[in-house]
Amino acid sequence: MTELMMLTSVLDRAVAADESMPCKKDPELWFAESPADVEHAKLLCQECPVRAQCLAGAMDRAEPWGVWGGELFVSGAIVARKRPRGRPRKNEIAA
């Protein structure tokens, strides 16, 4: 059995066994448009017992978007914060 299949199996068993996981109560919150809702979802992930497995699985699957394992994915990459809709910045800020 490959490592990914084992991880998926562990995550599937954990999800099936624990319906009290925060993502089970309001799944749409993990794909919210509002930056405040996204931050709330990330906060709820912090105490999840399968957080590390969820994040690893999302990285392996190259999830295109949403909150996975307490991290925000946008276009398949982890980003720190979700920007609100609106006009883009006139000048890019150097990192």
Q: Is 24 annotated as a binding residue?
A: no
Q: Is 57 annotated as a binding residue?
A: no
Q: Is 21 annotated as a binding residue?
A: no
Q: Is 7 annotated as a binding residue?
A: no
Q: Is there a contact between 24 and 15 (Cβ–Cβ < 8 Å)?
A: yes
Q: Is there a contact between 49 and 18 (Cβ–Cβ < 8 Å)?
A: yes
CA distance 28 to 31: 5
Return binding residues for [4Fe-4S] cluster. 23, 45, 48, 54
Return binding residues. 23, 45, 48, 54
